[in-house]
């Protein structure tokens, strides 16, 4: 696998195809800015497989984790704008402008939105040793012991970090943030008892919930989800205005030719409308949410504003 990814990265960075060749004329590098096993990795590889079938050229995953996803996104932003590098990004891409003072890229100016992809529910989990069976009990515990409980995340500025900052702000509780390099590491820390609580994408959380290694207290969605029908929504659990599903979008370097962006957008929407892929995603708790380049651009603008307000209300300072 490592050899395939290494070779894929080299191929994606090789010289552009000769003028006049149909696109694509060589493998496409799909940068995943989180580690293997993360929800973006799972979804990205499924999409890569489907695009490979549709385009007739390999779409090869290249994991570039670090800095809450910003490392890999920065690599994509600086790649040649020839259509042979794309990046799958989570909603964290809309958080970073408010949390990082010296980002290596501008999320609006340096990247071209290609397609909106999917929605993934986030779940609030606690370690089984935490004496709380409901979200309200957990909040009461945190309030009774300020600064004693901690929460893990996939990195500063990720949506699972911001979700807990929102909870802290809404409920006036004090918990310590422990960032990790991706949700996979954060989940290992949770099951190992290093952290008390995490907000985690359902794709990462579900196997651990079913194994009894973590306890799910609430889903951060407007309605209950089919794969966890007995877990209440945050509103049902007693906390209003505490919803934060995780969305995914595909981006390319900003100067990528419009016709290539349009082609990739059409192919991604087609892939996400395919019954077989929708079924595979749904089995993981993922909702296909195909949308055009323009729809992803609109989502980005609204989410940057929404997350800026959350960061401001939480009193977080840019790093």
pLDDT for residue 158: 86
Structural domains of the chain, with CATH: 2-120+245-314 (3.40.190.150), 122-219 (3.40.190.10)
End-to-end CA distance of the chain: 35
Nearest to 62 by CA among 2, 105, 107: 2
**Residue pointed to by tokens 């935490």:** 130
Q: Report the pLDDT value the prediction gives residue 39, as an integer from 0 to 100.
A: 86
* pLDDT band with cut points at 50, 70 and 90 for residue 20: low
Averaged pLDDT, 40-53: 96
**pLDDT for res 314:** 82
R_g of the chain, CA atoms, integer Å: 19
- Give yes or no for residue 3 having a pLDDT over 70: no
Residue 12 has pLDDT above 50, yes or no: no
Looking at residue 17, its pLDDT comes to 45
Task: Tell me which residue of 177, 171, 130 sits closest to 152, measured CA to CA.
Answer: 177
Mean of the per-residue pLDDT values for the chain? 92
**pLDDT score for 301:** 96
Tell me if 32 sits within 8 A of 41, measured CB to CB.
yes
Contact 81, 192 (CB under 8 A): no
> What is residue 166's three-state secondary structure?
helix
- Predicted confidence (pLDDT) at residue 1 exceeds the cutoff of 60: no
Strand partners, 249: 89, 116
Reference 294, options 113, 132, 129, 161; nearest CA is 113
Percent of the chain with pLDDT over 70: 94
pLDDT, tens digit, 9 for 90 and up, residues 248-261: 999 999 999 999 99
pLDDT tens, 175-234? 999 999 888 899 999 999 999 999 999 989 999 999 999 999 999 999 999 999 999 999
CB neighbours of residue 196 within 10 Å: 23
10-19, 51-60, 147-156, 268-277: range with lowest mean pLDDT: 10-19
Percent of the chain residues topping a pLDDT of 90: 81
pLDDT of 135 over the 50 cut: yes
Tell me, what's the pLDDT at 156?
A: 85
Beta strand 85-90 with 28-32 is parallel
- pLDDT tens digits, residue range 273-304? 999 999 999 998 899 999 999 999 999 999 99
Q: DSSP letters along 30-87, please?
A: EEESS-TTSHHHHHHHHHHHHHHHHHSS-EEEEE---GGGHHHHHHHHTS-SSSSEEE
Kindly state the tokens that stand for 4.
């395939």
């Amino acid at each position: 696998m490592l050899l395939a990814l290494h070779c894929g990265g080299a191929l994606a960075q090789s010289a552009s195809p000769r003028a006049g060749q149909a696109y694509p004329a060589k493998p496409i590098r799909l940068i995943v800015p989180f580690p293997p096993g993360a929800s973006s990795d799972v979804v990205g590889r499924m999409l890569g497989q489907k695009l490979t079938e549709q385009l007739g050229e390999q779409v090869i995953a290249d994991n570039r984790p670090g800095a809450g996803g910003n490392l890999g996104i920065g690599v994509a932003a600086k790649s040649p704008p020839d259509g042979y590098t794309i990046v799958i990004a989570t909603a964290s891409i809309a958080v970073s402008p408010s949390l990082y003072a010296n980002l290596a890229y501008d999320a609006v100016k340096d990247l071209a939105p290609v397609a909106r992809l999917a929605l993934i529910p986030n779940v609030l989990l606690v370690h089984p040793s935490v004496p709380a069976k409901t979200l309200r009990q957990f909040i009461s515990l945190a309030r009774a012991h300020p600064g004693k409980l901690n929460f893990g995340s996939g990195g500063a500025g990720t949506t699972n970090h911001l979700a807990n900052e929102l909870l802290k702000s809404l409920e006036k509780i004090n918990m310590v943030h422990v960032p990790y390099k991706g949700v996979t590491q954060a989940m290992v820390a949770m099951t190992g008892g290093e952290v008390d609580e995490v907000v985690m994408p359902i794709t990462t959380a579900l196997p651990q919930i079913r194994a009894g290694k973590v306890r799910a207290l609430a889903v951060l969605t407007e309605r209950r989800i089919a794969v966890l029908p007995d877990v209440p929504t945050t509103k049902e659990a007693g906390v209003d205005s505490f919803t934060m599903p995780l969305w995914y979008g595909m981006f390319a370097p900003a100067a990528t030719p419009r016709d290539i962006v349009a082609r990739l957008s059409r192919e991604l929407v087609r892939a996400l409308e395919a019954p077989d892929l929708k079924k595979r995603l749904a089995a993981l708790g993922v909702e296909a949410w195909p949308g055009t380049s323009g729809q992803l651009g609109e989502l980005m603008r609204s989410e940057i504003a929404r997350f800026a307000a959350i960061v401001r209300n939480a009193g977080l300072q840019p790093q």
